[in-house]
Amino acid sequence: MRSNGSMLNKMEGRFECKRCGACCKGRDVPLALDDILRLSEFLGMDPDGFFSECCVEMAIDENTMALPFLKRYGEACQFLDDNICRVHFVKPSACEYMPSTIFGSLEHLRARMPSSCAIQHTKPESDERLRRIYMASMMITAIYYSKHGTFKFRLARPFIYRILLFKRSHEGIRKLFGNEIAQN
């Protein structure tokens, strides 16, 4: 999923994604609200249309509320094409920030990843900044869902704004408000 490898990573035995695509199979990818907007823009769809076509709301168990995930039509993620992510440059935060999105010990992380993953024999990057950003994005998404129950872009917009503020994504905010900000 990640692609920021380097010669230094190899020399130091640090985690470097091999782009094998194994972790893009057999799992559901959670979405933060800003992921939905970013993916829909990239695919040239309106956010609500993208959501109904490509996403699903589901609860992990009966004690949790339903949250958004990418829809899966088979074993692999709908965006995996010949082991390449079709949405690489705008991929969901859960993919982009991996392994900082998996909490717990190194053993726990390795147990969650495929046996072929580079993480099984290299050190994971522990990026607390990415972890905080991911946590905040998912918490704001959960707050939105506790209030509105389902995705509607019109309602989600102020929550997306909060996530983008947290990420300091000026580009994202500019796109979210378009001309409204430019005129103020």
Binding site for ligand SF4 (CB under 6 A): 1-2, 17-24, 29, 77, 79-80, 85, 87, 91-92, 95, 113-114, 117-119
Whether residue 99 has a cis bond before it, omega within 30° of 0: yes
Query: Which among 16, 3, 26 has a CA at the least distance from the CA of 75?
Result: 26
CB of 127 vs ligand SF4, minimal distance in Å: 14
CB of 151 vs ligand SF4, minimal distance in Å: 18
CB of 138 vs ligand SF4, minimal distance in Å: 15
Say if residues 58 and 66 touch (Cβ distance below 8 Å).
yes
Say if residues 33 and 157 touch (Cβ distance below 8 Å).
no
In angstroms, the Cα distances linking 104 to 84, 101, 111, 131 are: 28, 10, 11, 12
CB of 95 vs ligand SF4, minimal distance in Å: 3
Q: Which is nearer to ligand SF4, 63 or 115 (CB)?
A: 115
CB of 79 vs ligand SF4, minimal distance in Å: 4
Q: Which is nearer to ligand SF4, 55 or 113 (CB)?
A: 113
Q: Which is nearer to ligand SF4, 104 or 178 (CB)?
A: 104
Question: How many angstroms separate the CA atoms of 117 and 113, rounded?
Answer: 6
Q: Which residues pair with 74 in a beta bridge?
A: none
In angstroms, the Cα distances linking 44 to 160, 174, 175 are: 18, 17, 13
Residue 30, sorted as left (phi over 0), alpha (psi -120 to 50) or beta, turns out to be beta
Q: Which is nearer to ligand SF4, 22 or 155 (CB)?
A: 22
Q: Which is nearer to ligand SF4, 76 or 165 (CB)?
A: 76
